[in-house]
Amino acid sequence: MMISKVVKPQYLIRHFSTVGGKVPTTPTPEFPGEYREPKVKTVIPGPQSLDLYKKLNAVQDPRATHFFADYSNSRGNYIADVDGNILLDLYCQIASIPIGYNNPELIKAAKSDKWISAIINRPSLGVLPPKEWPSIIQNSFMAVAPKGLHNYPLAAHEKENRAEEDRCLAEVEHLIKTWHIPVAGLIVEPIQAEGGDNWATPYFFQQLRDLTKRHGVSMIVDEVQTGMGATGKFWAHDHWNLSSPPDIVTFSKKMQAAGFYHNIEFRPSESYRNFNTWMGDPLRALELEVVVEQIKKNHLLDNVAITGKYLKDGLDEFQTRFPHLLRNVRGLGTFLAFDLPSPQIRDQIVNSLRAKGVETGGCGTEAIRMRPMLICQPNHINQFFDRFDTTLKEIKK
């Protein structure tokens, strides 16, 4: 557990927009009852978090713990801790919170008879599913099922990357041809998130799909972190314009459940071949039903596109102003990242931001990743920009 010093400056929210200082508006309404800004009262983690850390250490390895959260007092884009600090959350349980802490619509749904029944009557879905199960599936998982073919704005450096991508594609094909047993499937992330938000162009994935089809290899796209709207589309692979859809798409995190979509040809011939006791969690499907409804009702994909552009434009400005610190700003929607000169400086910035009331996270060896909620708006980004500006100036000194 790393401790951040308490910081209590008076922040003036400045506009870092590249377009005449104007903050864009989005079609998404404000989150009801949300805090107006971060509030830091103690060091983070504070004394109560440190006490709980010691207690947890007796029964579980707590070394990855940032602090202990007070979820009952968290609202929208802001997470509260047990010491009374309020942080703007741009990490969101490692990219897992879609529509805000204590979302009123989820709270309302949680009090319904349908949810109560799902909580206390845990069914074995493969054997005795409830009568509502087909409609729940249609309104949740199938409502956002991957479609396959969409357009993509080509990356600015695609030409420069082409030689390296061709080399990688040739290596993949060589491995498929020469491996000592036939290759059944190829698994790929649209963005290698934990590895440092590493990217490839649509060309790479288009060629990879054609290659897998040519050799009879199933293409499995891991959308655990990239799925559910963070890139501005429900699925990151929707940006690729593939000749044919992936064979399997995995999901989790913002979907509130883990699983995978697959082509019908992958259905086993025997009914119990792909089977376990629970075969899923009805409660998480009901939760996703509300999340999908809110995404559509509140135009959250449009919000992600607008907020994401504002965030990326601002990060590009910081990269210009602090070229010795920031490099390689990259991403789609609000699924963004940038690199720092070293792991030590990266960790210093993450801890300094936390001390100022902004929760972020690292990935790879020296990158910071941005994983805000779908409800994050430009005014929240301004709060981050202001504290980020102060942090970079402190490091510059």
pLDDT at residue number 7 = 45
CA–CA separation, 387 vs 38, rounded Å? 10
Angle between helices 343-355 and 378-396 (to 10 degrees): 120
> Of all helices (H) and strands (E), which one includes residue 359?
strand 358-359
pLDDT at residue number 112 = 97
User: Among candidates 280, 305, 256, 208, which has minimal Cα distance to 98?
Assistant: 256
pLDDT at residue number 20 = 44
**Under CATH, to which class is 153-256 assigned?**
alpha beta
pLDDT at residue number 274 = 85
Instruction: Give the type of residue at 259.
Output: G
Say if CB 68 and CB 53 are below 8 A apart: yes
pLDDT at residue number 152 = 36
User: Among candidates 86, 54, 61, 59, which has minimal Cα distance to 71?
Assistant: 86
Is this model's pTM higher than 0.85 or not? yes
pLDDT at residue number 293 = 98
CA–CA separation, 28 vs 35, rounded Å? 17
SS3 of 29, please? coil
The total number of residues written for the chain in this structure: 397
Say if CB 301 and CB 295 are below 8 A apart: yes
Domain boundaries, the chain: 153-256, 299-342+384-397
Q: Which residues contact 57 (CB under 8 A, 6 or more apart)?
A: none
**Local mean pLDDT, 10-residue blocks, the chain (397 residues):** 47 47 91 98 98 98 97 99 99 97 98 95 93 94 75 49 92 97 97 91 96 97 97 96 95 94 90 88 95 98 98 98 96 97 97 98 96 98 98 86
> Of all helices (H) and strands (E), which one includes residue 262?
strand 259-262
Q: Is 246 left (phi over 0), alpha (psi -120 to 50) or beta?
A: beta
pLDDT at residue number 21 = 64
Say if CB 382 and CB 16 are below 8 A apart: yes
Say if CB 379 and CB 308 are below 8 A apart: no
pLDDT at residue number 149 = 32
